[in-house]
Amino acid sequence: MVDTAAARALNDGQERLVALDGLRGLAILLVMVFHLVLQYPFAASAGSLYYQLGGIGWIGVDLFFVLSGFLITGILIDTKESPNFFSAFFVRRALRIFPLYYAALIVIFLIAPRFGVYDTPELRFVLDRQIYFWTYMTNWGFVEARGARFFNVDWLALVHFWSLAVEEQFYVAWPFVVYLFSRRGLVRICVLLVVGALAFRLTIVGLGLPQGAAYTLTPARIDTLAVGALLAIASRTEGVLFHLQKAATWCGAGALIFLIFVFFNHQGVWFADRWMHTIGFSVLAVGWGAMLATCLSGGPYPAVRLVFEARWLRAFGKYSYGLYVLHHLMLPFLPATPFVRLFPEPLGATFYIICSIALFLAAAWLSWVFIENPFLRLKCFFGYQSAPGVQPSGVTA
């Protein structure tokens, strides 16, 4: 049953959800800039400030995780009493994420090889292990005996699919957790997951296991999703979100200070850095959680929410899924060489990023019109049913 606090959060939340689209927009822009900067042939990569700043963009993935934890947990809590709780959730999730993802895999693994596209040892290596992609287990495939080679694919880079695997594994397991436990129980589980993820990463580092395990395995990244889940519970509990705002200010400031410290002491903020793939991921989870809490409550910083309500940023948020799936697949077709020859390094890199993102956005728009949106319209046939005496919440997934 949806209590009054939850109902208020949903109704009052139309403005807040607009801001969440802006947060999605920020997340995808960070990720795209990160991948584009890595592609650009900087003259002195490690020492280039531009390269180091763009290299921070991978943290956008952590923002996506926090948002997913928040939105999915909120949907599950609000529809927990629905007679078709599980079937509606899983079908609606499938309609949202499967069409574009599997369309991409069909092109990559079934169509392109017929034209000799995969004619390198690295790509044949991926083809031989494509089962990881079809089953949303890519993140575990990265840490198999020779899994590090996934990171060396130099044509059709599929490595970004690891985060989609993490989210899908969360989608499969989390509905059962929400269904079985009370809100108080969920809070305890989320806290245990946050602590457990840090312990898991520290164990990986301590045992000298591949660093990719700390970055891609679901148990190592579950803390970001759990922080989002905690905020979903808080937003549906009377008065809690308001009191979290003060803590959010300090948590956000602390996370920013930590990132600045790492940046100046390690020539950037890189996910392979030991500071980051141990305590750093926890700091990012808390920092992004603080940003989300600020957007949800407004608090003393309403300007923050106004920034994320900007139309251009929300547009990136609307097409963020298509942008995420497609942008890295398009990178091999967007050579940076002309920009290097025509412009000095910072200017050339900037033009390269702007032009590339414009092309990514066009591709994502086409994906939305011809693949994603037609399937999303089918959700109307799989709505959540109301339990006897309970009004529908209107939540969509």
The answer to whether the CB of 214 falls within 8 A of the CB of 277 is yes
Instruction: Give the whole-angstrom CA distance, residue 30 versus residue 13.
Output: 25
pLDDT digits (tens, 9 = 90+) for 263-314: 999 999 998 888 998 999 999 999 999 999 999 876 667 788 889 999 999 9
pLDDT digits (tens, 9 = 90+) for 318-368: 999 999 999 999 988 888 989 988 998 889 999 999 999 999 999 999 999
The predicted structure's pLDDT at residue 203: 94
The predicted structure's pLDDT at residue 125: 74
The predicted structure's pLDDT at residue 145: 42
**Quick one: tokens of 43?**
């003259």
pLDDT digits (tens, 9 = 90+) for 6-35: 344 444 444 457 899 999 999 999 999 999
**What's the pLDDT band for 120 if we cut at 50, 70, 90?**
low
Task: Look at the block and give the residue holding tokens 């990514």.
Answer: 360
DSSP string, 302-367: HHHHHHHT-HHHHHHHHTHHHHHHHHHHHGGGS-SHHHHHHS-HHHHHHHHHHHHHHHHHHHHHHH
The answer to whether the CB of 155 falls within 8 A of the CB of 332 is yes
The predicted structure's pLDDT at residue 16: 54
The answer to whether the CB of 163 falls within 8 A of the CB of 169 is no
Instruction: Give the whole-angstrom CA distance, residue 139 versus residue 150.
Output: 10
Mean pLDDT along residues 253-267: 95
CA atoms within 13 A on the CB side of 61: 27
Q: What values do phi and psi take at 200, rounded to 5?
A: -65, -45
**Quick one: tokens of 264?**
């100046």
Question: Which among 295, 311, 322, 336 has a CA at the least distance from the CA of 28?
Answer: 322
Instruction: Give the whole-angstrom CA distance, residue 135 versus residue 156.
Output: 19
Sequence-ordered list of residues with C-beta below 8 angstroms from that of 16, at least 6 positions apart, any chain? 9, 295, 296, 305
Domain ranges of the chain: 16-381
Instruction: Give the whole-angstrom CA distance, residue 384 versus residue 87.
Output: 9
Q: Compute CA 312 distance to the chain's CA centroid, rounded to the nearest angstrom.
A: 19
The predicted structure's pLDDT at residue 394: 47
**Quick one: tokens of 126?**
């991926």
pLDDT digits (tens, 9 = 90+) for 193-230: 999 999 999 999 888 877 778 999 999 999 999 999 99
Lowest mean pLDDT among 71-80, 120-129, 239-248: 120-129
The predicted structure's pLDDT at residue 180: 97
Instruction: Give the whole-angstrom CA distance, residue 225 versus residue 176.
Output: 15
What percent of the chain has pLDDT above 70? 88
The predicted structure's pLDDT at residue 187: 97
Instruction: Give the whole-angstrom CA distance, residue 289 versus residue 231.
Output: 7
State the alpha helices, DSSP H only, in the chain: 4-39, 49-54, 60-78, 85-105, 121-128, 131-134, 138-141, 161-180, 183-206, 211-216, 218-234, 240-265, 281-297, 302-308, 311-318, 320-330, 337-342, 345-367, 373-376
Q: How many CB atoms lie within 10 A of CB 144?
A: 13
Mean pLDDT along residues 80-96: 97
